[in-house]
Chain A
Amino acid sequence: MTDNDKKTPLYDVHVDLRAKIADYYHFLMPLQYSGIISEHRCVRNNAGLFDISHMGEIVIEGEGATELVQKIITNDISNLPDYKAAYSPICDEEGGILDDIIVFKYNLKKYMLVVNCGNTKKVNKWINEFKTDKVNVNDESDIISLLAVQGPKSEEIIRLVCGDECAGLSRFQFKEITVDEMQLTVSRTGYTGEDGFEIFVDNSHCVDLWNILLEKGKDMDLKPAGLGARDTLRLEAGYLLYGYDIDEFITPLEAGLSWTVKFNKTDFIGKDSLLRLKKYGLKRMFVAFKMHDKGIPRTDNEIIHNNNVVGKVTSGTFSPSLEIGIGFGYVLKRFAEHKSRVKIKIRGTDYPAQIVDTPFIETPLRRSHNQNKV
């Protein structure tokens, strides 16, 4: 298999389902099956099944595992319970974001990092530069597949396929189980803003698991959903996408990810640069914006204020839930702070937009989050 046409174990299944296939960082992935809007609504109303086996898995094991993870991530996992996951950026010495990942903690001596597929090799190499003899770092991306079941009905589907204990997981908790001789790691995580689960499975059982989920989920209207819907769902939910909204030229502080940078923990890579940046102030800031009426923002559109260019769009789309254009971008900091009214230049015309808070829609995760706060 060359680097240019990587396929997940489900490639032929996607083709049989007449999916539109697109190249995503050298993976031939399903962009859509029935259509982005119908798949998006299926996830918001019922449940959707995603093949996200392109995601990378790097396993860190050994005496020095915790120490190594704490060194490379900006978040602090020292108080993270076993079998719980956490989100974090990985930064370089200058504070630029090398990747944004989910850290799965099995115990103090074993972690799995789920990394973006375009960054797997880079991150693996980076971690190996800092590893000691007390720890092993293995890129297991080529043997692990990943499926996501997302949507309000996902808990019932997981109950049917994986049992009550998995259905009872709390957000970001995970569990290892065996189902029909398949060894699965089931976690209550996702990238859609809905309740949902992600299931890690050996490549050899990936197609079986996909079929079982679809079969058992049939009564709950579970349908395959592609990367197109995954993108519109994550935008509505306010989640960043590496390579578009964040990259090595952007720090977590500018990206609105300050909550993931824990200056009080032990030393970590990028700490000094980020501290300096925090002290002397940021120049630009991440914003989310919603169009007033017309116009669909796209990557690289200019953000305008009083006829001046004050920023640039990094992601944009038509929101199937709001039926209006929404997007992310970076603007000079003073325009981010005041919930400014701006314009987005689309094919030469300026369309009015308003800087807003994320998520764009009242997602179930946000609702329960607010309840917990009270």
Chain B
Amino acid sequence: MDFPEDLFYTKSHEWVKKEGNNKVRVGITSHAQSELGDVVYVELPDLDRIVKAGGACTVVESVKAAYEIYSPVSGKVLKTNNDLENNPQLVNEDPYGKGWFFIIEIEDPQELTKLLSNKDYEELCQAK
């Protein structure tokens, strides 16, 4: 299982990548996609939507069931990954790359310090 060092993580299995001073890219971790199984649909948030840290903002569906995805930080949705509309399997194939979900303009960069490091997250996954 892959836990890239340059990312932040949440207990609810999202990853966060800092891009510039006030933007972050968000997706779900390799562990999460593996647990979900074949992803067949991703419902992305509307652009400009204001999201709260820990608030549900996206839904991912596998063959078996639908799962909520939570925003790791508070802010505004700047961009979503429209490729997922026709190719939801990118979430399985490349969770940290082409399978990203959305970019958020972050309200308070301090929030990032509350997220998990790759080591902490790896421990959390192994504890299960």
Contact = CB atoms under 8 A, between A and B. Distances in A.
- The reply to whether chain A is a binding partner of chain B is yes
A228 B36 CA distance: 12
Interface string A293-312: 01010100000000000000
B4 interface: no
Contacts of A320: 63
B38 A35 contact: yes
Interface string B64-80: 11100000000000000
A267 to B, nearest CB: 43
B37 A318 contact: no
Contacts of A38: 38
Contact of B37 (A20, A294, A317, A347): A20
A116 interface: no
Given A232-B63, A318-B63, A347-B66, A296 B41 contact: yes
Given A36-B64, A228-B64, A296-B66, A347 B41 contact: no
B66 A318 contact: no
A37 B59 CA distance: 20
Interface of A: 20, 31-32, 35-38, 228, 231-232, 294, 296, 298, 317-318, 320, 347
B66 to A, nearest CB: 6
B59 A228 contact: no
Contacts of B43: 347
A37 B38 contact: yes
Given A20-B37, A296-B40, A296-B41, A37 B66 contact: no
Contacts of A318: 40-41, 61, 63
Contacts, number: 36
A232 B41 CA distance: 16
Nearest to B61: A296
Contacts of A20: 37
Nearest to B59: A347
| Residue among B38, B61, B65 with most chain A CB within 10 A | B38
Contacts of B62: 36
Interface of B: 37-38, 40-41, 43, 59, 61-66
Given A296-B61, A318-B61, A347-B59, A36 B66 contact: no
Contacts of B38: 35-38
Contacts of B63: 36-37, 228, 232, 317-318, 320
B74 to A, nearest CB: 22
B67 to A, nearest CB: 12
A280 B115 CA distance: 63
Nearest to A20: B37
Contacts of A294: 41
Closest 5 CB pairs of A and B: A318-B40, A36-B63, A37-B38, A35-B38, A318-B63
A318 B62 CA distance: 8
Nearest to B43: A347
19 contacts: A20-B37, A31-B64, A35-B37, A35-B38, A36-B37, A36-B63, A37-B63, A38-B38, A294-B41, A296-B40, A296-B61, A298-B66, A317-B63, A318-B41, A318-B63, A320-B63, A347-B43, A347-B59, A347-B66
A302 B37 CA distance: 26
B49 to A, nearest CB: 15
Contacts of A296: 40-41, 61, 66
